[in-house]
Amino acid sequence: MKINTSLLIAFALIIIVSPLNLIAQDTTETEKKKWEWSWEFDELEEWVHFGKKMPSISFLYGLTNIEHKNISDSFADANLLELNLGHTTRRTSRYADNILKYSYRYLYLGYISSDLAGGSVNENQLNSKTWRFGFGRSSGYVYKMGTAAIIPFYTYSFDWTKIDFTNAATNEEDQHRIDRFEGALRFGSSNEGGLRIAATSLITVEASYERSIVFERHLFWKWAGSAIIEAAAQGLIDIFIKEIFYSSPEAGPIVYFVLKSALGYGIYELRQEKMNWPFSIAPPLSFDNIKFGVTFTF
C-alpha cells in the first residue's frame, strides 16, 4: 500500500497556513497519525524493499524430454532436481501503483536422470545421467494484491552440462554423435517462461517450461553472432512492451511474458537444426523441461 499522497499534501498545507494549530494539536493524535503512516510504509516495504537485493533459495522438480535431430535412437524419460541460490529485487514501477518490476538473478545446480523417472530401464532407449550448473536471470512484472502477488516471468541462462549415457546406442552412427557430448563439460543456454504465485513476500510457488540446448563444441564467433541477433530481437520487443505499459499498464505484465517467451521459444526451435542459427552448423542436444518449485525470499 502506498502512502496517501493527498493526505500528505493536505497536511503540508495545514502546517504552512496554520502552524499554531499544529502546535496545539493533541499529542496523542499526533502519535496515532505517525503510527498509521509507519504501518502503511512498512506494508509497502515488506514487498518492495525499495530495490534492495533479497537473498532467495529455490527448490525445483521437473519432467525432462531429451532430443537430438540426427540421433535415431529415442532417449529415455528423465526427471530433474534443481537448486537455485541468488537475489530477488522488486521495485515500484512508473506504470501503476499495483505493478512492480521484478528480477531474480541466481546461480544454479541441477541433476537430470532417467533413474529419477522411476520406470524400468529400457535397453532400446538411451538412459542418461546429467549434471549441469550455470547462472540465470528471471525478469518480469508483478501484479501486487495486498500481501499476495502474481508474477509472469521470462528467464535466460548460460549453462555448463556434463552428460553420461549408461548404455550404448543401437547403431554406430548414433554412438559416434553421442560421443561428441559425453564425458566433458559442454556449454549451452536456456530460456524459460512461467508463472510465480506469492502468497506472502516470503514464499513463492511456480510452474514453468524451459528449453535448453547443449553444444557439442563451443564455436565462440558463431555463438556470439547468433546471440547478438537474439539480443537485438529482444531489444525491439522491449521497446514495444514499454508502449503497451504506457497505454494499458494492467496488460503490460502479461504482454511482457507472452512476447518474451514466444520469441525465446521460436529462436530455440530454429536452433534445433543449427545450434548457432542462422549459421550452418551441427544440431545441439536439447532438453525440454516442465518445472515446478518453491522459492523462499528473505
Would you state the pLDDT for residue 48?
A: 62
Q: Are residues 68 and 117 in the same domain?
A: yes
Q: Are residues 15 and 96 in the same domain?
A: no
Would you state the pLDDT for residue 259?
A: 95
Q: Are residues 113 and 178 in the same domain?
A: yes
- How many C-beta atoms lie closer than 10 Å to residue 37's C-beta? 15
Q: Are residues 132 and 265 in the same domain?
A: yes
Q: Are residues 36 and 164 in the same domain?
A: no
On the question of a cis peptide bond just before residue 284, with omega within 30 degrees of 0, the verdict is no
For 15-71, the pLDDT digits (tens) are 333 333 333 344 344 343 333 333 334 445 556 665 678 999 999 999 999 999 899
Q: Are residues 10 and 151 in the same domain?
A: no
Q: Are residues 239 and 180 in the same domain?
A: yes
Q: Give the list of residues 6+ apart from residue 213 with CB closer than 8 angstroms, or none.
A: 188, 189, 190, 268, 271, 272, 275, 284, 285, 286, 287
Q: Are residues 81 and 40 in the same domain?
A: no
- State pTM to two decimals: 0.80
Last residue of a domain, one of 13, 32, 49: 49
Q: Are residues 291 and 239 in the same domain?
A: yes
Q: Are residues 283 and 182 in the same domain?
A: yes
Q: Are residues 88 and 15 in the same domain?
A: no
Q: Are residues 1 and 79 in the same domain?
A: no
SS3 153: strand
User: What is the domain extent for residue 39?
Assistant: 1-49
Number of domains making up the chain: 2
Last residue of a domain, one of 27, 49, 71: 49
120: confidence class by pLDDT, cuts 50, 70, 90 = low
For 161-213, the pLDDT digits (tens) are 999 998 888 888 889 989 989 878 999 999 999 999 998 889 999 999 999 99
Tell me the pairing of strands 186-198 and 203-214. Answer: antiparallel
